[in-house]
């Protein structure tokens, strides 16, 4: 999953910048990043402190939320673009 020492998951750690990718938030209804998932696992909702209780009560809920990472990348980016290809690699890994 590494291309020139670049982890395939790197672009998915943070949500896209609202300043640089303003249109992303018009196109994507449910933005999700790896940090979003991490916060959910810790029980963070919005700007509130972590509760220590995961927002995902089942593995299926976690998987469904995680799937938005690549679904959003496919929806927003052109087929064959670097991010599209990375999302495809991330999905199958």
Residue 5: the pLDDT is: 63
DSSP string, 38-58: HHHHHT--TTSPP-SS-S--S
User: Would you give per-residue pLDDT tens digits along the chain (93 residues)?
Assistant: 445 566 778 899 999 999 999 999 999 999 999 999 999 999 998 888 999 999 999 999 999 999 999 999 999 999 999 999 999 988 876
For residue 31, count other CB atoms closer than 10 A to its CB. Answer: 17
Overall pTM surpassing 0.95 (yes/no): no
User: What integer pLDDT is reported at residue 9 of this predicted model?
Assistant: 82
* Pairing label, strands 6-7, 2-3: antiparallel
pLDDT in the model for residue 1? 46
């Amino acid at each position: 999953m590494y291309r020139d020492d670049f982890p395939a998951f790197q672009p998915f750690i943070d949500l896209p910048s609202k300043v640089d990718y303003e249109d992303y938030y018009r196109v994507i209804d449910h933005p999700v990043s790896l940090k979003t998932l991490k916060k959910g696992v810790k029980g963070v909702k919005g700007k509130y402190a972590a509760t220590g209780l995961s927002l995902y009560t089942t593995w299926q809920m976690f998987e469904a939320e995680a799937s938005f990472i690549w679904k959003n990348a496919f929806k927003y980016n052109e087929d064959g673009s670097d991010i599209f290809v990375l999302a495809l690699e991330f999905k199958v890994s």
